[in-house]
Amino acid sequence: MENIGQKRFLDFDLVGGAFVVTGGARGLGLAMAEGLVEAGGKVHCLDRAPSPDEEYEEAKKRVVPEWGGSLHYVQVDVTNTASLNASIESIAADNKRLDGLIAAAGIVEVTPAIEYTVEGVSRMMDINYTGLFMSATAAAREMMRYGCRGSTCLVASMSGIVANKGMNSPVYNPSKAAVIQLARSLAMEWTPVQSDRRGGIRVNSLSPGDVMTPAVQEVFERNPGTREIWESENMAHRLANPVEFKSAALFLLSRASSFMTGSNLVIDGGHTAW
């Protein structure tokens, strides 16, 4: 066992590691990416926008090079599997390794069930589940190729556990429930080290409560009164800020959670506890 007492917070040290964060250009994904950068990780943010916006550029200005980390942008739509696979393969090849993935790309839509179209259901599931699934498999393939005992965090939601008051989301909620179950399934498949030494990849899901992101702000604008309902439903009586999930992401991607796999980490201000 390594003597971790010789270096401060060694279990959280990501220096020399390469990581991918999908949906990493803004909001929750970007906040979690910053957490990995602060710990010294080389982080590649994948997002579908042709170029990063002001929020990403401000985050890049906050990077402290002396800490060993860096932030990089790659334009990728997770629903384009060929492009997604090629991008993650290229990132791993450039670094000769891939140590972790945070799959945070997703969309939220508040629509009554009887108003949904087949196309609307497909779009939600294509991004929130299929895109996330393909991101996880693309990353795992590269971890195995380079012999990295990596870690994957699939971003789910407390909406995969409960039906949120004031939010008609009959497709979003099941998409996140599927992510929680996917983490368990992939953990069972990838965590054991095989005879050919493949495997050793931990997989967990993270279920945030209500977080103030650009997507959630759009929900509030279209549905007056929703914010007040959501704030009253958790013990903190407020929404979370994306930066409050930086440490959780670092924990799940680092050696600090080395015996944790197939779990769902719920951080929701006590929403699902009462």
Q: What are the DSSP E strand ranges found in 48-150?
A: 70-75, 100-103
**Tell me, what's the pLDDT at 222?**
85
If one counts the domains in the chain, the total is: 1
4 belongs to a structural domain: no
Is residue 236 included in any domain, yes or no?
yes
Enzyme catalytic residues: 172, 176
Domain-located, residue 6:
no
Sign of CA dihedral 53, 244, 104, 106: negative
Domain enclosing residue 229, as ranges: 14-266
- The pLDDT of residue 211 is 96
Residue 230 domain-assigned (yes or no):
yes
- As a whole number of angstroms, the longest Cα–Cα distance in the chain is 60
List Cα–Cα distances, 213 to 49, 217, 219, in angstroms.
Answer: 17, 6, 10
Q: What is the CATH number of the domain that holds 163?
A: 3.40.50.720
E strands, the chain, where?
18-22, 42-47, 70-75, 100-103, 151-155, 202-208, 264-267
Signed CA dihedral, 42, 43, 44, 50: sign only: negative
Residue ranges of the chain with per-residue pLDDT less than 70: 1-5
pLDDT of 195 reads 80
